[in-house]
Structure 1
Amino acid sequence: MPLTKISAPRHLSSSKVKALAEAVQDGLVKTCNVPPNDLFQLISRFDAEEMILDPHFGGVNRSGDACIAEIVFLTGRTDDQKRALFRHISDRAVEAGFRADDIMIALVENSRMDWSLGHGVAYADHHSKA
């Protein structure tokens, strides 16, 4: 059950940012066994001065088109699945016109106890009753 937050420069077209969002969801489905309809994404747009990203940290050359995808999901994916996810997202983003250096991805893992899908009920409690 992932929650994806995409931070993108305001000057990028909506269609280009949507393509990145689709790349992330496609990667989650194809590499991490996420159901296709398990889709929760938040997209935030920022002016250039509001995205302070080191242009060279990590051995890359980020441009003014750099985006960050933060994915919060349940623990349990292997390192190989995570590597495949990174590669898949990057490859799909490049197909959509991004540079590979401009796609940064951060994964955050947690447990079912860390989510509530609504009604003030922990997902861990809801899931155990299903």
Structure 2
Amino acid sequence: MPLLRFDLVAGRTQAELTTLLDAAHAAVVEAFEVPDGDRYQVVHQHPAGEMVVHDTGLGIDRTRDVVVLQMTSRKRTQQQKEDFYRLLTRNLEKEAGIAPSDVVVSVVENADADWSFGHGRAQFLTGEL
């Protein structure tokens, strides 16, 4: 936890996807201090014509390498989120060659009652987590 959903233009190799996911996970672990084995990631790949990712007047150019990441998570501090954005773009650029201008992140927050990790229980509420 958190849950990361990646939207990408189709065409990356399995090795490129693995590198991208590993780089993002390292940012999650560092920014939010979650256990390394606590990893939830889903990748959606789209034909190029099905992803329109234009900036809102910031003058940011995008390429085919664009990554749109929606993170669903328990509440995080503003500092944790800012650290995550910085670490994520640093890791993706260093490890996967993805420019920071190609990374868009949206955070959706929820509460402990909004999570079940299996067995039909809300583990944050039951004390299992």
Superposed pair shares fold, TM > 0.5:
yes
The reply to whether residue 119 of structure 1 matches residue 119 of structure 2 is: yes
SS at match of 1:69: strand
Return structure 1 stretches of 4+ with deviation > 4 angstroms. Answer: none
The reply to whether residue 24 of structure 1 matches residue 24 of structure 2 is: yes
For 1:11, the equivalent position in structure 2 comes to 11
Alpha-carbon distance in 2 for matches of 1:106, 1:52 = 15
Letter in 2 for 1:87: R
Alpha-carbon distance in 2 for matches of 1:124, 1:36 = 18
Alpha-carbon distance in 1 for matches of 2:71, 2:108 = 6
* Structural RMSD (CA): 1.6
Letter in 2 for 1:119: H
**Structure 1: 5+ residue stretches without partners:** none
For 1:105, the equivalent position in structure 2 comes to 105
* Cα distance, 1:103 vs structure 2: 0.9
The reply to whether residue 89 of structure 1 matches residue 94 of structure 2 is: no
Letter in 2 for 1:78: T
Letter in 2 for 1:86: Y
For 1:66, the equivalent position in structure 2 comes to 66
Task: Name which of structure 1's ranges 103-112 and 57-66 shifts more when overlaid on structure 2.
Answer: 57-66
Alpha-carbon distance in 1 for matches of 2:48, 2:72 = 25
Letter in 1 for 2:71: I
For 2:79, the equivalent position in structure 1 comes to 80
| Percent of pairs with identical residues | 27
Contact 1:23 / 1:88 at 8 angstroms: preserved in 2? Answer: no
Contact 1:5 / 1:43 at 8 angstroms: preserved in 2? Answer: yes
Alpha-carbon distance in 1 for matches of 2:50, 2:20 = 20
Letter in 2 for 1:17: L
Letter in 2 for 1:18: T
Q: Name the count of aligned residue pairs.
A: 127
Contact 1:114 / 1:123 at 8 angstroms: preserved in 2? Answer: no
Deviations 1:77-123 (A, max 9, x none): 21111101000000111112111111111111111100111222223
* Cα distance, 1:71 vs structure 2: 1.1
Letter in 2 for 1:19: T
